[in-house]
Structure 1
Amino acid sequence: MFEVVNEIPSTNAALLARAGGGDCPFEGYWLIADRQSAGRGRSGRVWSDGAGNFMGSTLALLAPGETAPQTLALVAGLAVHEAVATLCPGLAHLYLKWPNDLLVGSAKLAGVLLERSGAAIVVGIGVNLAQAPQVEGRATTSLAELGHPVSRDVFAQVLAERWALHLAAWHTGQWPVLRARWEACAVPRGTLVSVNDKAHGAIMGGFAGIDADGVAQLRLADGRMLAVHAGDVDLVGDPCGNGLP
């Protein structure tokens, strides 16, 4: 089910408020906005509301004993990747970057934001279909400027189908299969990345996949493995193998 509104401060905030107030929508419900006046991304970043882009939120309802909830960010990213790949055949260098970005080369195309209220995990997704916001210090792109125009409503339908399929698999214990599919779509292992660690500052290493809980693994220059539980992983090398981005 899709509910489309002309303008709203934030689709995620609206669903969180409803879940917290006891009016929790069902799985399969999507709140989609033409415009967001106070959209947000990870770490409080502004989430651009470019006209023609996809801005929407849905949710997952947790049951006791299920897979670690944070893995749903990766499940959502996989659904976004597959929706883009389905609608834009031939689009090269489409990669998932832990924990929540979809890239084309080293430029950001889409992002995912998870927020929780009780047993409800609200999943916000933004995809640059028509235009790419200018973000200081970050390369961005859109499907339109890449030569793949896709309408918001068509994209929403395909994304909802992929998310529903993967969420059902996640609920039935198929996270190991989804994890393998996510890794197959991720930036190649060995891609040089950096992460800001609170204890040690910026650390660089080669991306080495994710573990069973969806935690990113970095291989350091001395061969040690570092588990990254939180924070942003930024590309230092180009995943396409063309030198620095």
Structure 2
Amino acid sequence: MTVIRTVASTRSTNEDMLGLAAQGEPEGVWLRAVEQTAGRGRQGRAWLSAPGNLFTSTIIRLRPGDPTAATLGFVAAIALAEVVSLWTGRAPLTVKWPNDVMIDGAKLSGILLERSGDAVILGIGVNLVTAVDISDRAIASLAPYGAPDAALFLEELAAAFARWLGRWRGEGLGPIRARWLEWAHPKGTALVANLPDGESVPGLFDGLDGDGALILRLADGTSRVIHAADIFLI
């Protein structure tokens, strides 16, 4: 059962949900903040919060036999892309590994997974109204397409996520991987992967392996499998 709660202001919806998960909060609860004062993204980055944008988190309770928890990012990206397309149409949208939803190559959203015991906290931020500036990448918002109300957008998103979570849990990663690839930029797209150790690996997008890792085709014709990196379109 999906339940959506809204608070006027909080530091971080993910932070709040981690606390609620420790108290036994069940799967299916979403928390939306009208204002978020200390949001965070991947690798400890700050997620800047502008009025009217979406700041939300939910809990997934892992069960025996579930696919790898990290692949929930693909589930979230698919659900988010499908909902965004209700406003934009399909043409301008792509997903970039692992879970960025892009409009005409500019980043629209952020997705953060954090785990505590059997609970995975999924945090999602979407630029509905304002494209908050980030120095190293192009940023988009839904404003040019008629920015939706955050509460309405979240209702659609929660329903889409529940559908895809059911497939992830019932059918495994295969259908999720296939759907993600349908949304992805074409094979052969030039990318650079900035690895956690500081190495930069340029290559061409060559799909995903069976576990969802990124495959880059290198200049010498070999392939490299990337498990963790910041990915930039060239």
* TM-score interval, normalised by the smaller of the two chains: over 0.9
1:138-217 alignment runs, 5 A limit: 138-144=137-143, 146-197=144-195, 201-217=199-215
* Native 8 Å contact 2:196 2:228 kept in 1: no
SS at match of 2:175: helix
Query: Residue deviations 1:30-68, cap 9 Å, x none?
Result: 000001111000011111211111110012111123211
Shift in Å, 1:76: 0.4
Residue 113 of structure 1 aligns with an amino acid whose one-letter code is L
Residue 155 of structure 1 aligns with an amino acid whose one-letter code is F
1:11-30 alignment runs, 5 A limit: 11-19=13-21, 21=22, 23-30=23-30
Identity over the aligned pairs, expressed in percent? 41
Separation in 1 of the partners of 2:56 and 2:115?
A: 16
The match for 1:240 is none
Gaps of 5+ in 1: 237-245
Higher normalized helix content (fraction of residues): 2
Gaps of 5+ in 2: none
The match for 2:79 is 79
SS at match of 2:69: coil
Shift in Å, 1:169: 1.1
* Native 8 Å contact 2:94 2:184 kept in 1: yes
Shift in Å, 1:91: 5.4
Residue 228 of structure 1 aligns with an amino acid whose one-letter code is I
SS at match of 2:221: coil
Separation in 2 of the partners of 1:24 and 1:191?
A: 44
1:93-132 alignment runs, 5 A limit: 93-132=92-131
Shift in Å, 1:197: 3.1
SS at match of 1:70: helix
* Native 8 Å contact 1:67 1:173 kept in 2: no
Residue 90 to residue 64, structure 1, CA distance change in 2 (3 Å): closer
Q: How many residues align?
A: 232
The match for 1:40 is 40
TM-score (norm: length of structure 2) = 0.95
SS at match of 2:171: coil
Query: Residue deviations 1:186-222, cap 9 Å, x none?
Result: 1111110001235671110011111221111111111
TM-score (norm: length of structure 1) = 0.91
